[in-house]
Structure formats: C-alpha cells, structure tokens
C-alpha cells in the first residue's frame, strides 16, 4: 500500500491510557543512506500492544502507534543499502536501532545492547522523534534491523515470527534444545507456546504440553503434533513426569509453581522463562543438588532472527493466525486479554488501512 499524500503515514494510535486505538496521521522520517522504507502489508498483534498503549509500565508516550511484528515490501532504499532492493519481502521486529558499538551489538545480539535497543514503537528514533510501530501504512528502518522473508513464505504468517517466533527460537538454540531425541516441556499454549511446540517437533524433540485447560489437549496432540499433554494442576499427573524432561520452556505469564516444574527436569536440565509471571520463586533443593538451571530470555539478535526465518521457510513452520482488518483491532486486543485467539492475531494492514 502506498503512503498517504505528501509523505504522511496513516496509522492507528492510542491517545491516552485507555489504550483505545483510532485512526491517526503522522510523518515518518526521511529515508537515510542506510535506510529501508517498507510498505507494511501485515502486522501481528502482541501482548505488548496491550501493555504500552494502556501505560502499564508508566512510560508510554502518546500518541502511541503499536505493532512490532511487521511484514511488508520494500518501496525505497537508501544509497548505501546493499542487502535489499525495491520489491523484496521483508520484516521488522521488536527493535529498530542499537548502539552498534558494544560487545553485544558486535556479536549481533542487539537485543541486549549495553545502551539499550530502540523499540519499534514508543522508543526514541535516530532523528529524536518517538518511534511508531506497524499499525501503520509504512515504516523507515536502518537496513541492519530489517530481515529478508524467503520468497515463498506467506507474508501474513511471517509477521508473528518477528516477536513470538524469535522469543522462543532464540533461547531454544542458545540452550541446545535442537538435539533430536531429547525431551521438551512447553508450559502454556498461546502465541509463543504453539510455536515452541512446532520448533520442538522440527528439532526432533519429544514434546509435552503442560496446560491448566483440558480444552487444549486435542489441539496439542492432534493439530500441533505434541507427543503428550499434561494438566498442570493435577498433582498426580505432574508427579508421573518427575525427572523425565531435558528442557522446559515456560511461555506463560501467569504465576506457576516453579518447584513443581523443576522437579520434572532431569539432572542438568534447563528451565527457560520467556513469560513474565509476577514472581519467580523456588527452593534451592530443586536446583543445586541436580545441577538444574533456570534462564531468562527476551526476543533475539539480528543474525538469529534471519536464521529463524530461513529455518521456518525450509521446514514449513507456520504460525496459526486469525487475520483481521485494522478496524477490528480494539476488539482483538480485548480478546487477546481473554486468551480468545488461536494463536496470533494478524492485521491485514494493506487491505484495511485506508
């Protein structure tokens, strides 16, 4: 979709902590020599799109245009850009800049930049303006933070990979959760959890889903291909899995019994936390005597994001989505809060943002 007249960008924004989104018109910065301008075709909806517009962290700057799971088509490139050309299918994730000088940026782990990466929305852009996200007609990004989407991979399915996908892929790779024959437990079956199951199966792992809802059983086993399903509130069922798992990835943000899950790990097993419960509390007796580890993680670096996109294309890993027009976004956010989505909303920006 082309930008609005006179270089103006069309979007949807929140104006106050109610978080209610409505049409908004604004200007993007000019395309610099190292920049890529992207016509946004699709944008996934993340829980961050609830938190920031409603000022849950107390730092939101209005008007706020959310959205950091962006897929689209290159419409213009700067004079120094070598990696992309007009017409390429590309994506943008959770950040659009970093210092590019610290040890983490040098290792292409820009998400851990010592000076802090610049978020795709509600951050401070290179020109000093506030970044505005993917609920909009186009975006301008330095080419380093732009990713090639393999040609035959559907753009609408690529969008959720730029946050939900990389958030589980990155720690799984870091902790060697790609060893065929090993066992993986996935806690929670939402936008992140269902992709953790798909990655686990692609890696050749034996995957067990842990959920509080029996309604997730059939979906887990017969649709997503998990090997087993356990109701986490059933103490007897949980006990049967004691010391049986090599890895656990917790994608849930609700409070859980960490001791219950640590007991399911084998000696030297690893529990990775990508959700945000209100507290993390466990007994050292479930950790130290058997050399178990607990690790946290958030999103991923530019190198591994591109690797993940290529991996998904090669192995035909596709998120399960519900495609919506942007006019439905407020209802979609309310449904997201109620966990009423399988498993990621994606906004059809190009066909509905007029």
Alpha carbon distance 90, 70 (integer Å): 8
- Mapped onto helix, strand or coil, the DSSP state of residue 168 is helix
CB 195 within 8 A of CB 164: yes
CATH topology of domain 5-163+318-352: Quinone Oxidoreductase; Chain A, domain 1 (3.90.180)
CA–centroid distance for 95 within its chain: 11
pLDDT digits (tens, 9 = 90+) for 247-273: 999 998 888 889 999 999 999 999 999
CATH of 166-296, one of 3.50.50.60, 3.40.50.2300, 3.40.50.720, 3.40.30.10: 3.40.50.720
Segments of the chain with pLDDT less than 50 = 1-7
Q: Find the helix or strand (DSSP H, E) in which 312 lies.
A: helix 302-315
Separation of alpha carbons 165 and 160, rounded Å: 6
Please report, for the chain, the start and end positions of each structural domain, with discontinuous segments joined by +.
Answer: 5-163+318-352, 166-296
**334/324 Cα distance (integer angstroms):** 14
Which two structure tokens, joined as six digits, stand for 210? 């842990």
What rounded mean pLDDT belongs to the chain? Answer: 95
Return the beta strands (E) in 197-236 as ranges: 206-211, 228-231
- DSSP letter at 100 equals S
State pLDDT tens for residues 242-251: 999 999 999 9
| pTM across the whole model | 0.94
Give the integer Cα–Cα distance in Å for 96 and 211.
34
Residue 87, classed as helix, strand or coil, is coil
Kindly state the helix (H) or strand (E) to which residue 132 belongs, with its residue range.
none
């Amino acid at each position: 979709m082309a930008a609005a007249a006179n270089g103006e960008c069309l979007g949807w924004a929140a104006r106050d902590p109610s978080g209610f989104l409505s049409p908004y018109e604004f200007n993007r910065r000019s395309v610099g020599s190292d920049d890529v301008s992207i016509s946004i075709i699709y944008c996934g909806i993340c829980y961050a799109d609830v938190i920031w517009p409603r000022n849950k962290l107390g730092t939101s700057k209005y008007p706020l245009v959310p959205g950091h799971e962006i897929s689209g088509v290159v419409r213009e490139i700067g004079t120094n850009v070598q990696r992309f050309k007009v017409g390429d299918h590309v994506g943008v994730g959770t950040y659009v800049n970093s210092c590019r000088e610290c040890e983490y940026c040098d290792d292409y782990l820009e998400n851990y930049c010592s000076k802090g990466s610049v978020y795709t929305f509600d951050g401070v852009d290179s020109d000093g303006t506030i970044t505005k996200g993917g609920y909009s007609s186009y975006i301008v990004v330095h080419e380093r933070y732009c990713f090639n989407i393999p040609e035959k991979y559907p753009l609408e399915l690529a969008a959720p990979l730029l946050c939900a996908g990389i958030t589980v892929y990155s720690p799984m790779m870091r902790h060697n959760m790609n060893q065929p024959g090993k066992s993986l437990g996935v806690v929670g079956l939402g936008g992140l959890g269902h992709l953790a199951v798909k990655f686990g199966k692609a890696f050749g792992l034996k995957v067990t889903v842990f959920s509080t809802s029996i309604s997730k059983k059939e979906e887990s086993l017969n649709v997503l291909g998990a090997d087993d399903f356990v109701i986490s509130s059933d103490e007897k069922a949980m006990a049967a899995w004691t010391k049986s798992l090599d890895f656990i990835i917790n994608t849930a943000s609700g409070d859980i019994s960490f001791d219950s899950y640590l007991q399911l790990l084998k000696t030297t097993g690893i529990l990775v936390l990508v959700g945000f419960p209100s507290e993390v509390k466990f007994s050292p007796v479930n950790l130290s005597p058997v050399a178990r580890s607990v690790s946290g993680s958030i999103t991923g670096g530019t190198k591994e994001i591109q690797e993940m996109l290529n991996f998904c294309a090669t192995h035909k890993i596709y998120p399960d989505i519900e495609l919506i027009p942007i006019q439905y976004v407020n209802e979609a956010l309310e449904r997201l809060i109620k966990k009423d989505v399988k498993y990621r909303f994606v906004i059809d920006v190009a066909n509905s943002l007029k």
